[in-house]
């Protein structure tokens, strides 16, 4: 897939997290029915090396439990309430729901004790389900992307960037080894010039986390490849007015 394949695409952040508890099946079903173009979700490994969909490395913010994700088995994680009676899904649950109906941005989190096999396990699962053409792997950690690419040479890798200048420079430098398919900057970094430079390098730009309609409009007008938003319904409304 070429970067130009995506244009003003809308990715539902942690599912449609404005409407349902983040990173739950309810949020992914809501994203699907909103007709967003894709979903973004975050993955960690459980103590028994299952790929689970949760943002933090600790369960306490988003569930009624306590403890590190990598210290709990899938069975223990499944017993927790992730909000409104939802449970923590596995990546397989989500891939089976979404299939090839939407793009999937899988963010590899790095604060997991079992992070050692995260990229390898995720690429293996995606390829087993033949969903490679729909998936963009992203991470703030360029080393995880390097390992993703090593595990699957066809993988589309997106480098996540913070606002801060030094960290961004280091990440860009390390990632030159893999030439990321896309850059995923904070939306405040994205300008006409930013997009021009990315276009010259043949890279897509997918920016996070855009929740104000004015910002959505500004970014869509710049003509970037995609935005990541908690509220895909609002983003679609804004895009329809352009
Ligand atoms: O992938 C975009 C965004 O999700 C990155 O930040 O903390 O929401 O995972 P975070
Ligand atoms: Mg994320």
Q: CA-CA distances (angstroms) from residue 117 to 53, 133, 145, 151, 210?
A: 15, 22, 12, 10, 31
DSSP string for 144-162: HHHHHHHH-TT-EEEEEE-
**Mean pLDDT, rounded, of the chain:** 94
> Between 142-151 and 165-175, two packed helices, what is the crossing angle to 10 degrees?
20
Nearest to 88 by CA among 40, 46, 32: 46
Ligand 2 centroid to Cα of residue 30, in Å, is 17
Identify the pLDDT of residue 113. Answer: 57
Residue 228, ligand 1, Cβ within 6 A: yes
Residue 160, ligand 1, Cβ within 6 A: yes
Residue 211, ligand 1, Cβ within 6 A: no
pLDDT at 96 over 70: yes
Average pLDDT over residues 224-232: 98
Ligand 2 centroid to Cα of residue 240, in Å, is 26
Is residue 183 helix, strand or coil?
A: strand
Compute the half-sphere exposure of residue 229: CA atoms within 13 Å on the CB side of its CA: 28
pLDDT at 98 over 70: yes
Ligand 2 centroid to Cα of residue 114, in Å, is 18
pLDDT at 108 over 90: yes
pLDDT at 92 over 80: yes
Identify the pLDDT of residue 2. Answer: 72
More confident site: 27 or 165: 27
pLDDT tens-digit readout, 172-208: 777 777 889 999 999 999 999 999 999 998 999 999 9
Q: 13 an active-site residue? A: yes
44 within 8 A of 69, measured Cβ to Cβ = yes
pLDDT at 114 over 60: no
Average pLDDT over residues 133-148: 94
pLDDT tens-digit readout, 16-25: 999 999 999 9
Identify the pLDDT of residue 115. Answer: 57
Q: 70 an active-site residue? A: no
CA-nearest residue for atom 5, ligand 1, is 208
Identify the pLDDT of residue 167. Answer: 74
Residue 107, ligand 1, Cβ within 6 A: yes
Which helix (H) or strand (E) segment holds residue 40: the answer is strand 38-45
Phi, psi of 229 (to 5 degrees): -140, 150
Q: Which atom of ligand 1 has the smallest separation from the CA of 107?
A: 1
Query: Could you give the angle at the alpha carbon of 172 between the alpha carbons of 4 and 112, nearest 5°?
Result: 100
Residues 52 and 89: their CA atoms lie apart, in Å, by: 6
pLDDT at 70 over 70: yes
Residue 134, ligand 1, Cβ within 6 A: no
């Amino acid at each position: 897939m070429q970067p130009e394949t995506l244009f003003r695409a809308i990715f539902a952040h942690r599912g449609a997290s404005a409407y349902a508890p983040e990173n739950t099946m309810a949020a992914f079903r809501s994203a699907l029915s909103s007709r967003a173009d894709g979903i973004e979700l975050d993955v960690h490994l459980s103590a028994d090396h299952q790929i689970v969909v949760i943002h933090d490395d600790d369960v306490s913010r988003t569930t009624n439990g306590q403890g590190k994700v990598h210290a709990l088995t899938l069975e223990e994680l499944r017993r927790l309430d992730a909000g409104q009676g939802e449970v923590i899904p596995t990546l397989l649950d989500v891939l089976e729901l979404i299939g090839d109906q939407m793009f999937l941005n899988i963010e590899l989190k790095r604060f997991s004790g079992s992070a050692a096999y995260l990229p390898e396990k995720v690429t293996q699962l995606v390829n087993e389900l033949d969903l490679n053409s729909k998936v963009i792997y992203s991470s703030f950690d360029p080393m995880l992307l390097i390992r993703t690419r090593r595990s699957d040479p066809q993988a589309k890798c997106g480098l996540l960037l913070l606002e801060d200048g030094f960290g961004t420079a280091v990440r860009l430098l390390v990632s030159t080894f893999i030439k990321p398919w896309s850059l995923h900057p904070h939306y405040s970094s994205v300008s006409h010039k930013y997009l021009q430079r990315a276009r010259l390098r043949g890279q897509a730009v997918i920016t996070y986390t855009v929740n104000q309609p004015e910002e959505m409009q500004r970014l869509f007008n710049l003509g970037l490849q995609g935005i990541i938003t908690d509220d895909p319904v609002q983003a679609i409304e804004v895009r329809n007015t352009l």
